A = this chain, B = another copy of it.
Amino acid sequence: MQLSISKWYKILAPRPVVLISTVNIRNNPNAAPFSFVMPCSTEPPLVAFASDPDHHTVKNILETKDFVVNIPSRKLLKQLWTCANDFPYGVSEIKKANLTEEKSIKVKSPKIKECFAHLECKLYKHYRAGDHLLIVGKVLRADIDEKYLLKKQYSITKADPLMHISGTEFGVLGKVIKVR
C-alpha cells in the first residue's frame, strides 16, 4: 500500500534521540533534542544531524563552530521533552529542564551532566538538504559515565538509551539478539 510521502520518515524508526548543546557568541547555552542523527565516518570520526535551518541550535553552531551531542537515558525523558520547547533565543533549555551544564574539555559548548555520554564536536561541514540543514561535526572527544561500563566495555542495556518513534512516542531497547 502506498504511504503518504509526507509521513515516510515515521517508518525509519525508532531512531536514537540526542540532546545537542551549543552556545551563542554571548556564551548563552542552548539545548534541543534531535533524532535525525547518525555516525557518518570512523576516521576522522564524524557525526551528522539534520535540523530546521532556523533553529537556535543551527544559529549557534554557525556562530561558534562547535556543539556537544549528549546521549540521554530513559530516565531523562521528561527533561528532554522540556528541551523541545520553543523558549526565546538566549534562554537555556538546560536550566529550564533542571539539568546541569558542565564545562567541556575541547569545545566552548557545555555538556549536559545528566546524560550518560558526550561527544564534543567541531563543525566540519554543513549542507542544505531540502527543508533541513545537514550538519557534520568532527568528534574531538567522547566521554562516558563509568557506571555504564561492564568489564570496561560500554553496556547498552545498563545505559538504557532513549529512542524516538513519532510525536510524543518514545521507545527503549527490548531484546538483544546475536547472530550466529
Using a CB–CB cutoff of 8 Å, the interface residues on chain A facing chain B are 1-16, 18, 36-50, 69, 71, 74, 77-78, 81, 117, 119, 124-125, 127, 129-132, 134, 136, 139, 141-146, 149, 154, 156, 159, 161, 163, 165, 168-180
A42 to B119, CA, bound (A): 26
Contact A48 B177 (CB under 8 A): no
Interface of chain A: mostly helix, strand, loop or mixed: strand
**Nearest opposing residue in chain B for A84, CB measure:** B179
A110 to B41, CA, bound (A): 27
Known: A12-B38, A48-B48. 12 other contacts (CB 8 A): A1-B144, A2-B141, A5-B45, A7-B142, A8-B45, A12-B37, A14-B156, A15-B15, A41-B50, A42-B130, A48-B50, A168-B179
**Nearest opposing residue in chain B for A147, CB measure:** B1
Contact A141 B5 (CB under 8 A): yes
- Taking CB atoms, residues of chain B closer than 8 Å to A48 are 38, 48, 50, 129, 134
